């Protein structure tokens, strides 16, 4: 469980560092001074070094968490820093009617377009993991970090943690910044926000492109699609559970 959370925070940090566009909402008067290996500057496309340091420390603390309570706290702290700055990754438009605003994460139901996209992307990623785990012989409903309950694919939710920023959040950013979805692709009713049928179709296509995109596996050094990567990670989990390897290797980008 510690590894999943630490990997998610590390990958969130990388997404912020690679896709930074604007000013930070990050505030931390107690943050340590930046070291020489961190990116300098908080403008001109560079994430604030104090934010990157804080997230790196969150990941390190999560990896060493002594209890589930501490781990949940570190996950919450990392998520708070991440989503506090998620809006800086969104492309601004000269026409305000074409811009997306993001004031923080909300769900059940999502109340704005960005949160609607995030929730939909997470649901699709959960389904991908559920299908993949079942395909290799694992029970997607028996997890380790997420508490099992009726109808909840706990193991799928466990395994997808490091992939939330890599797949789901990345698809949201690409779909918005490339103009594949627009504010007019959403319907607001009864306090919730949902995609129109045409908007949903285009977003599903963007998600599928991401699943087919190739990435180099850090252990095996060959390029595979994200969909194939999910299967490889599932089989590595089997090897870990059977005692063939000492530690499950989470997928972390740099």
Domain boundary among 89, 121, 154: 89
Give, in order, the Cα–Cα distances in Å from 83 to each of 19, 162, 181: 14, 15, 20
Residue 97: the pLDDT is 62
**For the residues 50-58, what does the mean pLDDT come to?**
95
Domain boundary among 59, 89, 119: 89
Same-domain check for residues 123 and 208: yes
Mean pLDDT check: name the lowest of 84-98, 136-150, 187-201, 208-222. Answer: 84-98
Angle at 210 (CA atoms; ends 4, 227), nearest 5 degrees: 60
User: Domain count of the chain?
Assistant: 2
Same-domain check for residues 42 and 136: no
Same-domain check for residues 72 and 125: no
**Pairwise CA distance, residues 217 & 243, whole Å:** 22
Same-domain check for residues 19 and 145: no
Percent of the residues in the chain that have a pLDDT greater than 90, as a whole number:
72
Predicted confidence (pLDDT) at residue 39 exceeds the cutoff of 70: no
Domain that holds residue 174: 94-254
Same-domain check for residues 46 and 103: no
Domain boundary among 61, 89, 117: 89
Same-domain check for residues 135 and 36: no
Alpha-carbon dihedral angle through residues 190, 157, 137, 203, given to the nearest 10 degrees: 50
Mean pLDDT check: name the lowest of 4-13, 83-92, 167-176, 192-201. Answer: 83-92
**Residue matched to tokens 């004031």:** 103
Same-domain check for residues 15 and 74: yes
Q: How far apart are the first and last CA of the chain?
A: 21
pTM: 0.87
pLDDT tens across 190-209, in order? 889 999 999 999 999 999 99
Same-domain check for residues 160 and 41: no
- Residue 200's CB is within 10 A of a number of other CB atoms, namely 15
Same-domain check for residues 103 and 214: yes
User: What are the phi and psi torsion angles at 156 (to 5°)?
Assistant: -60, -40
Same-domain check for residues 185 and 72: no
Same-domain check for residues 116 and 152: yes
Same-domain check for residues 114 and 185: yes
Q: What is the CATH number of the domain that holds 110?
A: 1.20.120.920
**R_g over Cα of the chain:** 18
């Amino acid at each position: 469980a510690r590894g999943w959370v630490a990997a998610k925070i590390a990958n969130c940090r990388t997404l912020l560092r690679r896709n930074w566009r604007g000013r930070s909402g990050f505030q931390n008067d107690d943050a340590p001074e930046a070291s020489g290996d961190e990116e300098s500057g908080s403008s001109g496309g560079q994430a604030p070094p104090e934010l990157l340091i804080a997230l790196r420390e969150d990941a390190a603390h999560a990896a060493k968490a002594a209890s589930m309570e501490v781990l949940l706290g570190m996950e919450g702290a990392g998520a708070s820093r991440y989503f506090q700055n998620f809006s800086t990754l969104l492309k601004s438009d000269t026409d305000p009617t074409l811009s997306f605003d993001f004031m923080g994460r909300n769900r059940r139901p999502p109340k704005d377009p960005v949160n609607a996209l995030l929730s939909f992307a997470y649901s699709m990623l959960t389904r991908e993991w559920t299908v993949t785990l079942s395909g290799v012989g694992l029970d997607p409903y028996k997890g380790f970090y997420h508490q099992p309950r009726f109808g909840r694919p706990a193991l799928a939710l466990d395994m997808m943690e490091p992939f939330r920023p890599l797949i789901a959040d990345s698809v949201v950013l690409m779909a918005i910044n490339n103009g594949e979805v627009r504010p007019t692709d959403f319907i607001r009713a009864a306090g919730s926000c949902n995609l129109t049928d045409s908007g949903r179709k285009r977003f599903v296509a963007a998600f599928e492109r991401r699943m087919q995109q190739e990435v180099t596996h850090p252990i095996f050094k060959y390029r595979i699609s994200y969909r194939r990567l999910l299967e490889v990670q599932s089989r590595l989990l089997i090897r870990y559970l059977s005692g063939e390897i000492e530690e499950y290797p989470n997928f972390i980008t740099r």
